[in-house]
Amino acid sequence: MNELSRLEKAGVEALQRLYGEAASDEMDSGGVCARLLLGLYNGDRFPFDLTDLRMLPVGLFEDAMAVIRMDARLTRQEVHNYFAHGGRKFEDLAADYRVADIARLKSGSDCWPRPRVTRGNLCHEDRVQAKLVTCGDAPGYRDVTLTLDCELVGDYRERVGPVRLEINLNGDDSVSVMQHVRRAHAFAWRHDNRAPLDAGPGELRPAWLDALPTQS
């Protein structure tokens, strides 16, 4: 076994112990292990204060040094990729220990991580893809109600699962949405001899586009 292989073997074993401590112990040492791992995972989002290493007992301190050494000298893959679904596991650590996301704070967003994922729950600023189930209206009013089946985009999609939402749009907003949708379709069909990239076989330009005023 060469030097790099020994470095990785020691580092991976230490990494497993640090993650185990972070996942099972929410006392001081578990928090330090979690913040260290998150700093290695994404230092821009979760910067780590090196003085926190003083709180670790000797064994975990040596493990921390082994992981840092591996991460610095062996750049084959990032630390979270040594775990199945590692990105999700590390994001859960951030949620469990309420570690602030500094990159989001700098951008003006809420810096606190999403809560640990539970089935059927969406969180603020989640991105979803939606399928229309039904739509409705109130006779005499311009309000529009859309019922959508939504699924989260990204690593947590399967764990959250489908979420059915009923969205009510008032008159002004429903017009804005209609105009935006119409502009998107008109732009996609702007070439007479070329269909949109997502068009089905033999799909033709819809007649309703030509029945509406031209795009402003």
Statement: residue 176 has pLDDT above 60: yes
Q: What is the pTM of this model?
A: 0.63
pLDDT tens figures, 83-120? 998 998 999 999 889 999 998 888 877 778 777 778 88
| Amino acid 213: pLDDT | 55
What is the per-residue DSSP string for 175-193? HHHHHHHHHHHHHHT--TT
Q: Which residue has the higher pLDDT, 216 or 61?
A: 61
What is the per-residue DSSP string for 64-91? HHHHHHHHHH--SS-GGGGSTTHHHHHH
pLDDT tens figures, 8-28? 999 999 999 999 999 987 678
Please, where are the H alpha helices in the chain?
3-24, 28-41, 58-73, 86-96, 102-106, 157-160, 171-188, 207-211
| Amino acid 19: pLDDT | 96
| Amino acid 191: pLDDT | 86
pLDDT tens figures, 143-170? 999 999 999 998 788 889 999 999 999 9
CA–CA dist 31, 48 (Å, integer): 11
| Amino acid 26: pLDDT | 64
Residue 134, strand partner residues: 147
pLDDT tens figures, 117-150? 788 888 878 899 999 999 998 888 889 999 999 9
Give the percent of the chain with pLDDT over 70. Answer: 96
Statement: residue 215 has pLDDT above 50: no
Q: Which residue has the tokens 């090196």?
A: 50
User: Phi and psi of 199, rounded to 5°?
Assistant: -70, 145
Under DSSP, is residue 131 helix (H, G, I), strand (E, B) or coil? Answer: strand
| Amino acid 113: pLDDT | 77
CA–CA dist 66, 58 (Å, integer): 12
Q: Which residue has the tokens 């979690």?
A: 34
| Amino acid 25: pLDDT | 72
Residues 45-62: what's their mean pLDDT?
96
Under DSSP, is residue 140 helix (H, G, I), strand (E, B) or coil? Answer: coil
